[in-house]
Structure 1
Amino acid sequence: MRARWNRLRALGPSSVAGQIALLIVAAVVVAHALATLAFFTLREPWRPDDHPGVAATRIATVTRLLDGASPADRPALLANAARMLPTLRLEAWDGKPADTAAPEAGDRISDHPMVQRLRDGFARPLAITDLRGGSRTAEAPVGVKVGIETPGGARLSALVPDDDRPPMRQGAIIFTFVFLAVVVSVISLYATRALTAPLARLAEAADVFGTRMNLVDLPENGPREVVAVSRALDRMRARVRRLIDDRTQMLAAISHDLRTPITRLRLRAEFIEDEHARSMTLRDLDQMNGLVEAALSFVRDGQAPEGGVKTLVDLASVVQTVADEFADIGADVRVAETRHVLVQARPDELQRAIVNLVDNAVKYGGGARLSVTQTERGVAVEVSDDGPGIPEGERDAMLQPFVRGDRARNLDTASGFGLGLSIVLAIVESHEGRLTLRNRTPRGLSARIEMPRAAAVAGAPASPAVDPGTRAAA
């Protein structure tokens, strides 16, 4: 079935413009076809003589004329009417029913729609008898042969169309056009969705690759332009992944290879007799070793490896563990608000991200306050401090590798290498989360990690959501 549908699609235009034009033309053709079908289905005959309503009105008019005329004038009047309206088969009637008429024929004819129209047109009681008889032949005229007797004594027989369709009502017309609009809308929406589905898949693949570097299958069918963009994006993804892998391997190799000469230099520095020279050399080696460790950590944690398995992690436990570790070394770190929420995460990476934020808060703000709150989309971990904050124009730059907040100082006195926040950002994005930085009032910085929630722990205490700025001010 799918192969047949693909063959049918191959017969149509391959460009976006051609498919949109085909969609518009098809919608117009379908609308006209449905409207024409409804018109011919609901309409009554165009010929006045075959029109049920016209026939009933004419018979009622002739009947009124005969009822109002004198008995002597009725035969001539009926003959003239029969000559002018031959399809109605107007004839004189002696008042006798058909010889082969069934006993219940009178009851059946009273319920006939044409008889009801005739009585409505006459506007007075009429005695109507079924003159069709009980037998039918191929040569018998199509219609209802009835005998009519007026209150004034006039008698005639007539043949009216045997059409039992009720008159067209306004509701039927409205329903027809509503049905037409619904059908055309459904067809148009389905065709439009089929046309734009490759574009949606292409946008999804580009977004996933741009945020998490994951590969999603690109559309291989659709308009010619979409296929061309898909192939170009696939080639671009391959080049980007190759560049990232080369950079990662190069950085990892350099950082790894530097450990050996640093270790040898450290051993040689121990033999320096000058105490000051030895301490300065060891300090430089410590900084070099710290830079190597930071680079390796950035390669390991900052690239968000896809092979790591995510498990259910209690975020409150991770936050409390980090706070206890910093408190054990004398840092002013405490948990101001928490609640137990489960998230899908890699525990080591998540803890590393929170440790980096707390380390920055302690380093530049003298302490940190942590909180875990529930949000509409999941859970948020917020780390606040009372430091100088980050100017608004520099927040995006601070998330880039090797960019430090103390850029006025040189490497000799710097306490970091500018990789902490970039590692946090990479870890958060690999968990489909979001990292935001904002300054607090009157001073301080608030770093907020938002992650999707996996499940809530049953019976966990529900802490009210508090605005970070209000909590920090308190």
Structure 2
Amino acid sequence: MAILLLSEPAPGDPRDQDAAVVVAAVTALDAASPKDRLAIAAALNANLPGFRLALTELDRAIQTGTRPAYFQSRLPEGVTIIVADAGDQKKSFGFLHDGQGIVLDTLPLTPGFDRFALVTIGFVAISLFVFSLWAAISLTRPLTNFANVVEGFGLDSVPAQLPEAGPEEVRKATRAFNRMQRRIAEMAAQRTRMLAAVSHDLRTPITRMRLRAEYLETGDTKAKLVRDLDQMEAMVCGCLTYLRGGAQQEMVVLDLASLLQPVVDQFTDLGSIVRYNERSHISVRGNPDDLDRAFSNLLDNAVKYAENPEIELFERDGDAVVEVSDRGPGIPSDQREAMLEPFERGCADTTAHAEEGFGLGLAIARAIVEAHGGRLVLDERVGGGLIARVSLPKIDIETR
């Protein structure tokens, strides 16, 4: 605002365009002969918008108005210009060196101020936009990086330390998050080591008990004891498998259709009727053993709780989709998400097999699928039954 106010040209100021026009016109008239002055005045009036000059007789005693120093320093000797305030117009009169009186009427012409004001305001607006954009990016980039690292944080890889950058508040949050990552990673490693030790210690007495059971006479007591030992060993293996489900395993590119066929054949050899609908060969990146375990668990649930399950492989929205469906009693919609948690089993009133197993099959399958960047959901099948839908990222490869 100070720049705009100081830049406004005052009347008679060298930056005032009206003053420059008056000096040029009066100088030309003073230098011309009396007989040429009328023609010069007519030419000036015709070519200068808002400028009116007239030659007339004036009394030199008229002194109403001001005599700007700018005029007196630039006009020829003997020429006088007096500026009077006439409202919206600048009214000037004066005398040439030979006493010829002149009267000038000029409209206020100050385009320089308007142009300068627009340029200044535009510069300020652009500067504010640029600096605001820079400030916003400087603030949001560290927050975006922070959010991405938090989103990708998991127990399946070595935690990446987030660079401490940005405002002080963001740097404090980053330091706290890095410390939290390290503590969680250490606790996860300790948990894994502890569970490995527990599994080793449990398997040893189970093996000894199994060997001792072999010396018992064949009968109902021996059969129950062996069955209990099998359940104990299955529980230990199931827990370890679930805890290893999210661990990072060696990934290779594999054909999902070729991986599913042996799984189906395995259940078919055991007497189950499984329908396998393969629409196309789709490649994914994953660990064959882990994916085999996941689909085996899903198919085992379908065989256990229903009859004649079906497996269908197809592509949807760039993902490889495997659906394991059955015609069993299904799962109520409000319980499907809970059934994916460990140690959750079906209601005993709805299925005769609800008490079998330990509630780890679906949890293991989901942990493996999520470790491969996919998703496992349970849905209702049209006409009754359940659909376990697995979506995995598809890999496009060139083949010969």
Note whether the superposition's TM-score is higher than 0.5: yes
2:398, 2:295 → 1: CA distance? 21
Structure 1 SS opposite 2:232: helix
TM-superposed CA distance for 1:89, in Å, is 6.4
Contact preservation (8 Å) 1:59, 1:118: no
**Count of residues paired in the alignment:** 343
Mapped to 2, the partners of 1:240 and 1:263 lie a distance apart of 34
**Which residue of structure 1 aligns with residue 346 of structure 2?**
405
Residue 304 (structure 1) aligned to one of 243, 247, 251? 247
Counterpart among 336, 340, 346 of residue 395 in structure 1: 336
Q: How does 1:417-456 map to 2 (within 5 A)?
A: 417-455=358-396
Which moved further from structure 2: 356-365 or 398-407?
398-407
Q: Secondary structure at the match of 1:366?
A: coil
Between 436-445 and 449-458, the greater mean CA deviation after superposition: 449-458
Q: Residue 315 of structure 1 aligns with which residue?
A: 256
Taking the aligned partners of 1:335 and 1:181, their CA distance within structure 2 comes to: 66
* One of 3, 8, 18 as aligned partner of 1:54: 18
Structure 1 distance, partners of 2:345, 2:358, is 7
Indicate the SS of the match to 2:324: strand
1:190-229, aligned counterparts within 5 Å? Answer: 190-210=134-154, 215-229=159-173
- In structure 1, the partner of 2:266 is 325
Tell me the distance in 1 between the aligned counterparts of 2:10 and 2:343: 86
Matches within 5 A, 1:261-280: 261-280=205-224
- Say which SS state the counterpart of residue 91 (structure 1) adopts: helix
Match of 1:287 among 231, 251, 261: 231
- Are the structure 2 counterparts of residues 456 and 416 from structure 1 closer, same or farther at C-alpha, using a change threshold of 3 Å? same
CA apart distance, 1:377:
5.0
Structure 2 CA distance for aligned equivalents of residues 420 and 230 of structure 1: 38
Cα 1:373–1:116 shift into 2, 3 Å: farther
CA separation in 2, counterparts of 1:116 and 1:213? 87
Give secondary structure in 1 for the equivalent of 2:297: helix
Partner residue in 1 for 2:47: 118
Provide the rounded CA distance (Å) in 1 between the counterparts of 2:397 and 2:119: 50
Tell me if structure 1 keeps the 8 A contact 2:330–2:386.
Answer: yes
* Unmatched runs of 5 consecutive residues or more in structure 1: 1-31, 64-81, 83-87, 97-114, 124-140, 144-155, 157-165, 460-474
Q: In the alignment, which of 301, 308, 328 is matched to residue 360 of structure 1?
A: 301
Deviation for aligned residue 1:122: 7.2
Answer whether contact 1:266 1:285 (CA < 8 A) is retained.
yes
Q: Show the 5 A alignment for 1:131-170.
A: none
Q: What is the CA distance between 1:447 and its match in structure 2? A: 1.7
CA distance 1:221–1:258, shift in 2 (3 Å): same
Q: 1:230-287: CA deviations, max 9, x gaps?
A: 2322232233223322332222222222222222222222232252222222222222
What secondary structure sits across from 2:152 in the alignment?
helix
> Which is helix-richer, 1 or 2?
1
Which of 16, 23, 30 is matched with 1:91 structurally? 30
2:345 corresponds to 1:381? no
Query: What residue is the counterpart of 2:58 in the other structure?
Result: none
Residue 230 (1) aligns with residue 194 (2)? no
Task: Evaluate the alpha carbon distance shift between residue 391 and residue 205 of structure 1 in structure 2; reply closer, same or farther with a 3 A threshold.
Answer: same
- Tell me which amino acid in the other structure corresponds to 1:323: V
Distance 1:47 1:226, change over 3 A: same
Which residue matches 1:241?
Answer: 185
Letter in structure 2 aligned against 1:401: P
Deviations 1:36-73 (A, max 9, x none): 6xx79xx885545645753587589xx8xxxxxxxxxx
1:10-35 deviations in Å (ceiling 9; x for gaps): xxxxxxxxxxxxxxxxxxxxxx89xx
Amino acid at match of 2:246: Q
Q: 2:279: which partner in 1?
A: 338
Does structure 1 conserve the Cα–Cα contact (< 8 Å) formed by 2:286 and 2:372? yes
* TM-score normalised to structure 1 length: 0.60
Q: Distance in 1 between matches of 2:45 and 2:271?
A: 102
Aligned-residue Cα RMSD (Å) equals 4.2
d(CA) in 2 for partners of 1:449 and 1:89?
A: 95
Q: 1:357 to 1:227 in 2, by over 3 A?
A: same
Q: Which residue of 2 aligns with 1:13?
A: none
Alpha-carbon distance change, 268 to 390 in structure 1, aligned in 2, over 3 angstroms: same
2: CA distance, partners of 1:175 / 1:450: 58
Alpha-carbon offset, residue 358 of structure 1:
1.5
**Higher mean displacement: 450-459 or 51-60:** 51-60
User: What CA distance in whole angstroms lies between the structure 1 residues aligned with 2:276 and 2:147?
Assistant: 41
2:201 corresponds in structure 1 to 257
Name the SS of the counterpart of 2:343 in structure 1.
Answer: coil
Task: Tell me which residue corresponds to 2:106.
Answer: none
Shift of 1:93: 0.8
Change (3 A) 1:366 1:179: farther
Specify the code of the residue in structure 2 equivalent to 1:303: G
Change (3 A) 1:420 1:446: same
- Deviations along 1:309-332, whole A, 9 cap, x unmatched? 322222232233322332333322
Is the alpha carbon distance of 1:187 and 1:251 closer, same or farther for their aligned partners in structure 2, counting shifts above 3 Å?
A: same
The 8 Å contact of residues 255 and 295 in structure 1, kept in 2 or not, is answered as: no
Distance 1:169 1:310, change over 3 A: farther
